[in-house]
Amino acid sequence: MLKIDLNRAFDSVDWAGLKDMFKRLGIPSHMQKKFWSSYNNVKVRIQHSDAEDIGFILEHGVKQGGPESPIIFSLFIDPILRQLGECVAYADDVNLLTTQDNITAKLQHATKLFKIIGLSVSESKTEIWKDKTGTPLMILNMMVSATTEQRENLSKMQLQKFY
């Protein structure tokens, strides 16, 4: 299993891409206006103990911590996830199910697809999860839909992270 880490995922969402997504999904204009009203002229201030406060107006990204943010982000990356095929994702946590033979190809393909929508993969934080024998972990069913026996077997595995 390939656990992909996206660099500054929520911060990197392009607003033009979000507007296209809303239109493509047929989100009613009154709902779009309500969403964008919470983003218009949002001022952000960064405080650092060693430097002067830096302030700027938000021009891209999805607010972290907002209740709608994981849903908006998930909808934003959904076309990419569909192209990647077998994956499990929630917001910016993306896990690709893969075989030992195509890990590199899957990572390269994912990197290229995410780049199209302005997101970048952090190769230094992306992990290959392997079982205790060193074989990349291949999960046949997501934990949510797994049988009780599959869940028990998966929980008994000794997993290691390899970077």
In this structure, are residues 154 and 146 in contact, taking their beta carbons and an 8 Å threshold? yes
User: What is the percentage of the chain residues whose pLDDT exceeds 70?
Assistant: 81
Q: What is the pLDDT along the chain (163 residues), one digit of tens a residue?
A: 788 989 989 989 999 999 999 999 999 999 999 999 988 887 777 777 777 777 777 788 888 888 888 889 999 999 999 999 888 888 888 998 887 778 888 889 999 999 999 999 987 888 887 777 766 664 433 333 344 554 455 444 444 333 3
Backbone angles phi, psi at 121, to 5 degrees: -90, 130
pTM for the whole structure:
0.71
Indicate the SS3 state at residue 95.
strand
